[in-house]
Amino acid sequence: MNPPSPAKRITLRADHIAGAFFVAAGLAVIALSGDLPTGQLSMPGAGFLPEIVAVLIIVLGASLFLRAHESPAFASIAWDDGPHAGKVILVTAAAIVLYVKLGFIVTMVLMLMTLLTVIERKNVPRALLYSVAVAGGIYVIFVYVLRSPLPTGILGHW
Amino acid sequence: MEDTLLSLAHGFGIAFQPGNLWYAFIGCLVGTLVGVLPGIGPLSGISILLPVTFGLNATEAVIMLAGIYYGSQYGGSTTSILMRIPGEASSVMTCIDGNAMAKKGRAGAALCIAAVGSFTAGTFGILMLTLIAPPLAAIALKFGPPEYTALLIMGLIFLAYMSSTSLVRTLLMACLGLMLGMIGIDNMTGHFRYSFDFAELGDGIGIVPVAVGLFGLGEILATPSHKVRGEVITPKYRELLPTRAEWRAAYWPIARGSVLGFVIGIIPGSAHIISSFLSYALERRISKNPEEFGKGAVAGVAGPESANNSASTGAFVPMLSLGIPTGPITAVLIGALMIHGVPAGPQLVTEHRDLFWGFVASMYVGNLMLLLLNLPLVGLFVSVLRIPYGYLYPLIIMFCIVGVYEVNHSIVDVWIMLIMGMLGYALRKFDFDPAPLVLGLVIAPIFEQSLRQSLIMSNGNYLIFFNRPFSAALMAICIVLLGLSALAYFLKRKDWRAKLAAAEAGEPGA
């Protein structure tokens, strides 16, 4: 028996990854559903539908995995927007951490400034003016026009 | 019929109240802006602005949110025609001939045809909604849990069948949505499910953080600012009116698009997107000059623009009369009604007549407003398009955070939004459409309850879904749809969905 030629080597496809992820997710749901009673068909319990859906996820995930040859190669997926997305995620996560502590205005001015100057390389005075005007304007609209309170944080109520 | 007309007249009395007129106007204006701006679609627009409606009554809230939805269908055409960037997914087809017309100096005429087509189709859609929704709601009042279960299963399978991605991918997304929808306290037994000791998860995962994350933040993560470039063609006001020949070329495509769009709108799926693709394909096929398509054919603008507006109105029929969302946008609107303590479905038509008829009448008014708003204010929308995306997306992220936080004043919801944004980004990379996930999330509680009640009623016999005539008919439709999909797969034949996906990807010969 001849060893497989390099051309016949299995290429890792996008749906190999996606299918494996869904199979793992379905198995994780079943593992986490341990305490939930499935009940009987005549009286289904809290775990009844989650288990059916988890099995469906596993079956569909496996089907995706098995038909992965129809999907593009994993290496062909363009991740060139990844660094930008990563930075935006980090800045957004920091804003969420600070949102209640520092309040809406301070957090949003900081977030807008960081996105505009660090990621978008915009002119600093213009970015500052834009950030303060936008955050202040939205605060006024929400609090005074829509009467929907926003966190004030370190600035206190005013 | 007489009763319908009397109710509609009563609805106009409600729609013309100053407050309702004002919120219809705000909804239409914001909707147009949402449609105009690339990177923010109607779903994220509605989700982000949902908290703004908390201080309003239910009628004002739903009038404003629906205005954003159908307003965005109008606005999407502006960006497509002037920049060749679809402001909104359903405007993809308008880019082709709309922008070609603009390059030939007919930008104004293309915008006018798109606006008149949208108005005609929108009005046709509302007329049909007025006639169909009340009798459908009367029938739905006789539905029991088995009928609702069958209807929801059919909705999911229809969605998967209509989707331009594969059946397996769509069902996977719907299942993931169902799974997320089951997090929290089980309504029937009181068990906590998958809440991992987070008190906030006891009430389940809200639709707003999921929708805003997947469609708002997810879209921003997948769109780096350096990739959003485009030249805006500024239309001249004196060229705003089409010539007689252009009007003649637009009449029938508008009529066909209106009917086609409404029919597709009632069926679950991303109807307004699919309808514009099908309308474009139909117009090209029956045209005497198919070679003009792609080079500025009037029918290539009039048909798809009419179809997507009619479809967005058609989607309200099952939402209002059955309480069943046909897509993620109607799912969020149902969520909005629930937040205001109003159940969507047959009870809405029978027990909340003021809201239902006021809403229907407001759509007639809103469509007229949009026609008057879109053409004279085209200069304003062109200046909005000139705002660099690098300044725009930080503003959208801010709205995402504020919008999600304001729903429950919960920071956990904002974290969920961020996680969903990352998931949305990954799903796009792996070619999954996140829309069925939102639909699954919304229908999960109704589906689970009706399925379990059906099984209790039948003492555990699954045949209950086949013993009752209406649910049996629905289940038969499900089997046929699954059979058709299987047939296309085994025969390796390109069915209409594969052709649609190819057309969407811009493949030749599709």
Q: Express each pLDDT in B226-257 by its tens digit.
A: 666 666 677 776 677 888 988 899 999 999 99
Stated pTM of the model: 0.81
Q: What CA–CA distance (Å, rounded) separates B183 from A50?
A: 9
Beta bridge partners of B193: B184
How many angstroms away from the CA of B322 is the closest CA of chain A?
23
pLDDT band at B508 (very low <50, low <70, confident <90, very high): very low
Largest CA-CA distance found in chain B, in angstroms, rounded: 72
Q: Do B223 and A15 touch (CB under 8 A)?
A: no
Per-residue pLDDT for B350 more than 60? yes
Per-residue pLDDT for B499 more than 70? no
Q: What CA–CA distance (Å, rounded) separates B508 from B397?
A: 37
| Residue B507: per-residue pLDDT | 47
Q: Express each pLDDT in B390-426 by its tens digit.
A: 888 898 899 889 888 888 888 999 999 999 999 999 9
| Residue with the larger pLDDT of the pair B338 and B16 | B16
Q: What CA–CA distance (Å, rounded) separates B39 from A25?
A: 30
How far the first Cα of chain A sits from its last, in Å, is 82
How many angstroms away from the CA of B2 is the closest CA of chain A?
40
Q: Which of B323, B358, B329, B351 is nearest to B57 (CA)?
A: B358
Structural domain contains residue B319:
yes
pLDDT band at A111 (very low <50, low <70, confident <90, very high): very high
Percent of chain B's residues with pLDDT above 70: 90
pLDDT band at A79 (very low <50, low <70, confident <90, very high): confident
Interface test with B, best of A77, A115, A143 (most B CBs within 10 A): A115
Least confident of B29-38, B107-116, B159-168, B201-210: B159-168
Nearest Cβ partner for A147 among B55, B395, B430: B55
Q: Which of B256, B263, B295, B298 is nearest to B279 (CA)?
A: B256
Q: What is the CA radius of gyration of chain A?
A: 25
pLDDT band at A52 (very low <50, low <70, confident <90, very high): very high
Percent of chain B's residues with pLDDT above 90: 15
Per-residue pLDDT for B136 more than 90? no
Q: Do A15 and B405 touch (CB under 8 A)?
A: no
Closest residue in A to B190 (Cα–Cα): A46
Closest residue in A to B227 (Cα–Cα): A81
How many angstroms away from the CA of B194 is the closest CA of chain A?
7
Q: In terms of residue numbers, what domain contains B362?
A: 2-504
Mean pLDDT of the B112-116 span: 89
Q: How is residue B412 written in tokens?
A: 């956990």
Per-residue pLDDT for B101 more than 50? yes
In contact, B178 and A35? CB cutoff 8 Å: no
pLDDT band at B164 (very low <50, low <70, confident <90, very high): low
Give the β-pairing of B184-185 and B192-193.
antiparallel
Per-residue pLDDT for A4 more than 60? no
Q: What CA–CA distance (Å, rounded) separates A96 from B416?
A: 11
Per-residue pLDDT for B89 more than 50? yes
Q: What CA–CA distance (Å, rounded) separates A10 from A12?
A: 6
Per-residue pLDDT for B447 more than 70? yes
Query: What is the number of domains present in chain B?
Result: 1
Q: Do A29 and B421 touch (CB under 8 A)?
A: no
| Residue B295: per-residue pLDDT | 83
pLDDT band at A83 (very low <50, low <70, confident <90, very high): very high
| Residue A5: per-residue pLDDT | 54
| Residue A94: per-residue pLDDT | 97
* Chain A residues within an 8 Å CB radius of B51: 148
| Residue A1: per-residue pLDDT | 47
Q: What is the ipTM of this complex?
A: 0.92
Structural domain contains residue B510:
no
The secondary structure of B433-488 as a DSSP string is -SHHHHHHHHHHHHHHHHHHHHHHHTTS-TTHHHHSHHHHHHHHHHHHHHHHHHHH
Q: Mapping DSSP to helix (H, G, I), strand (E, B) and coil, where does residue B38 land?
A: coil
Nearest Cβ partner for B452 among A33, A48, A116: A48
Mean pLDDT of the B176-197 span: 89
Q: What CA–CA distance (Å, rounded) separates B505 from B95?
A: 14
How many angstroms away from the CA of B69 is the closest CA of chain A?
21
Per-residue pLDDT for A151 more than 70? yes
Mean pLDDT of the B171-182 span: 93
Per-residue pLDDT for A3 more than 70? no
Q: Express each pLDDT in B44-67 by its tens digit.
A: 788 777 777 877 888 888 888 888
Q: What CA–CA distance (Å, rounded) separates B124 from B34?
A: 23
pLDDT, mean over chain B = 83
Mean pLDDT of the B177-198 span: 89
Cα-based distances in Å from B117 to B21, B83, B139, B405:
23, 20, 33, 38
* Chain A residues within an 8 Å CB radius of B390: 116, 120, 122
Structural domain contains residue B487:
yes
Q: How is residue B1 written in tokens?
A: 């019929």
Least confident of A11-25, A100-114, B440-454: B440-454
| Residue B364: per-residue pLDDT | 87
Structural domain contains residue B359:
yes
Q: Do A146 and B52 touch (CB under 8 A)?
A: yes
Q: Do B220 and A146 touch (CB under 8 A)?
A: no
Q: Which of B328, B331, B276 is nearest to B500 (CA)?
A: B276
Structural domain contains residue B418:
yes
| Residue B503: per-residue pLDDT | 56
| Residue A135: per-residue pLDDT | 93
How far the first Cα of chain B sits from its last, in Å, is 44
Q: What angle do CA A49, A50, A55 make, to 5 degrees?
A: 95
Give the β-pairing of B192-193 and A39-40.
unpaired
Q: Express each pLDDT in B263-297 by its tens digit.
A: 888 876 656 667 887 888 888 888 888 888 888 88
Q: What angle do CA B107, B111, B116 make, to 5 degrees?
A: 150
Mean pLDDT of the A24-31 span: 94
Nearest Cβ partner for A99 among B217, B395, B401: B401
Interface test with A, best of B64, B152, B172, B198 (most A CBs within 10 A): B172
Per-residue pLDDT for A40 more than 50? yes
Q: Do A99 and B189 touch (CB under 8 A)?
A: no
Nearest Cβ partner for B455 among A44, A54, A112: A44
Q: What CA–CA distance (Å, rounded) separates A156 from A143?
A: 14
| Residue B309: per-residue pLDDT | 86
Q: How is residue A39 written in tokens?
A: 């009940």
- Sign of the torsion formed by the C-alpha atoms of A154, B400, B415 and B201: positive
Q: Express each pLDDT in B462-482 by its tens digit.
A: 899 999 998 999 899 989 988
Structural domain contains residue B294:
yes
Per-residue pLDDT for A136 more than 70? yes
| Residue B509: per-residue pLDDT | 41
Structural domain contains residue B98:
yes
